[in-house]
Structure 1
Amino acid sequence: MLYKDFKEAIKSVGFNSVDEFITYAKISSDEVLVWIENDEVPYLVSLLIHTLKGDKDVLPASISLENIVEECLPLATLLEEASSFPSKLEEMFLLQKQLNDSTNGNHWELGINKFGKEINWLRCIHMEVAELIDSTPWKHWKNINSSPDMNNIHVELVDIWHFLMSYILQETNVPKAVSLVNTHCIYEASSEIDIKAVVKEAEKLSYVSLAIDTKNMPSFSGIERFIEQFFRTCKVAGLSFTWLQKLYIGKNCLNQFRQDNGYKEGTYIKVWNGNEDNVVMVSLLEKMEDVSFVHLYEQLEVEYKKN
C-alpha cells in the first residue's frame, strides 16, 4: 500500500490522523518517516487496516480498536515474516546438501557414503529424539523434580532438522523440498511450555521413523507426515521457525568456521575471551534480525580475532 493511500485508508476506519493510528498500533515515528520516504507501508499495516475496515460496522460496542490491534498484529507480523520463509528454506536445504556432499560424497542420496558405509537418516532422527527426551525429567526414578533443559531441547530439534532435511533431499530435490515444507513453517510457537506434551510430540517423530524404516508406512507419505509432526513438536516446544532457522545457520556456520581455523589440526581456540564459541555464536544470532551464513561467518571472524 502506498503511503498516500494509507493516509486515506486510516480515515475510513475511524482515525482522525496518522498520529492517532500509530499510537493505537504502537508504531514508532521513525518507522513512519521511512514509510513517507519510500511512499509505502508494510504489508502487516495494510492487512490491519483492511481487517478493521471489514469489521468496523459489526463490532460490538464493547470492543475497542486498541483490542483489535492487539489481536491482529501478531498474525499480521507472522504472515509478513512468512513471505521470507521460501528463501530461508532454500538456503538451509542448499547448505545441508553442501554439507552432505562434502562429508558423505556426491552420491550420498543413494544411501551410501564415500567410505561405503550405509546412511540411515531415519535411525539418526530416532536417536536424536532420544537425546531430546533425555533433556527432560521423564525418569520416574531419578531427578523427578528437575527442570527441563529447554536450550538443549531446541538444539536437539535443530539436529533433528539436519537429518530430516537430509532424508527429504534423499527422496526429492531442493525446489520440491522447499515446496513440501513451506506451508508448515507458519505457526506461532507456544509461550507456555507443557513438557509432557513436548515429549509426547517428539516421540511421534520416532514412531514415524520406525514406521518408514520397517516398511509400515510408504516413504513419500511418510515425508509429509514427518514434516507436519516436526513443526508441531517445534510449536509445543516454543521453537519458532525464525529461531530454528537462525540456530541451524549458526550451528552450520560455526562448524565450518572451526574447520577453517584449525579444528582438525588442534590449533583452534574454542574459548573466546572466557566464553565457549557456541555461546558467542548464539549471542551474535540474538542481535541479528535476519541471519545469513556469510554475514554470521564474518561476525565470527571479528570476534575470533579479539582473542
Structure 2
Amino acid sequence: MQRELNRYTFEQNALGEGYDAIAGNRDLQNTWLRNYALAMSQELSELVDSTNWKWWRTKVDLFDEQNIKVELVDILHFWVSACQVMGLSAEDVHRMYMQKNAVNRKRQDSGYLKKDEADNRGIG
C-alpha cells in the first residue's frame, strides 16, 4: 500500500525517474533517506506541538489526542517509506526488532555500563 502511494506521489509530482529508480541507487537512497528523515522530524515536531509541553505557559489543555494519533500515523508513513528505500520487508523489520530488543535488554540488565556498538553489528 505504501509503495503504491509513493509511486503515485512520485508520478504526480514528476520526481526524478520515479519511485522504483531508488532501489539499488546509493545516491537516490541517500537523498530519499534524508528526505524521509526530515519529514519524520517535521511530523515529530507537529506531534510535540499537539502536547502541552511548554512548562512556562499557563496550563491550558493543549493535549490534542486526535491530532497526536494522526501525527503518529504520518511518522509511520515516512518510516515505512524509509524502510522500503533500504529494501527492508516487514519480516526483516520484525526479525531485526527482536534482535535489537535482545541487545537492549542485555544492556539494561548490565546497567548500561558498557555500550558496545559491536553488539549492533550482528543485527540483520
Q: TM-score range by the shorter chain?
A: 0.5 to 0.7
Q: TM-score, normalised by structure 2?
A: 0.57
Shift of 1:179: 0.7
Larger RCO: 1 or 2 (CA < 8 Å, sep 6+): 2
Question: Gapped runs of 5+ residues in structure 1?
Answer: 1-94, 113-117, 185-216, 225-307
* Counterpart residue identity of residue 178, structure 1: A
Q: Is the 8 A contact 1:121 1:163 kept in 2?
A: yes
Structure-1 separation of matches of 2:93 and 2:68: 21
Which of the residues 159, 166, 191 maps onto 2:81? Answer: 166
Shift of 1:141: 3.2
Matching residue of 1:103: 9
Which of the residues 145, 148, 160 maps onto 2:60? Answer: 145
User: Is 1:178 matched up with 2:90?
Assistant: yes
Structure-2 separation of matches of 1:181 and 1:133: 26
Structure-2 separation of matches of 1:124 and 1:141: 28
Structure-1 separation of matches of 2:38 and 2:8: 21
Between the aligned residues of both structures, percent identity stands at: 33
* Inter-CA distance 143–163: structure 2 relative to 1 (3 Å threshold): farther
SS in 2 for 1:107: helix
* Inter-CA distance 132–143: structure 2 relative to 1 (3 Å threshold): farther
Question: Gapped runs of 5+ residues in structure 2?
Answer: 11-17, 98-116
* Inter-CA distance 143–98: structure 2 relative to 1 (3 Å threshold): farther
Q: Is the 8 A contact 1:96 1:166 kept in 2?
A: yes
Q: How many residues align?
A: 85
Structure-2 separation of matches of 1:143 and 1:136: 14
Matching residue of 1:63: none
Structure number, greater radius of gyration: 1
Structure 1 segments of 4 or more deviating over 6 A? none
Q: TM-score, normalised by structure 1?
A: 0.25
Deviations along 1:263-295, one digit per CA (max 9) or x if unpaired, are xxxxxxxxxxxxxxxxxxxxxxxxxxxxxxxxx
* Counterpart residue identity of residue 103, structure 1: T
Deviations along 1:220-241, one digit per CA (max 9) or x if unpaired, are x6xx8xxxxxxxxxxxxxxxxx
Structure-1 separation of matches of 2:43 and 2:78: 9
RMSD, aligned CA:
2.6
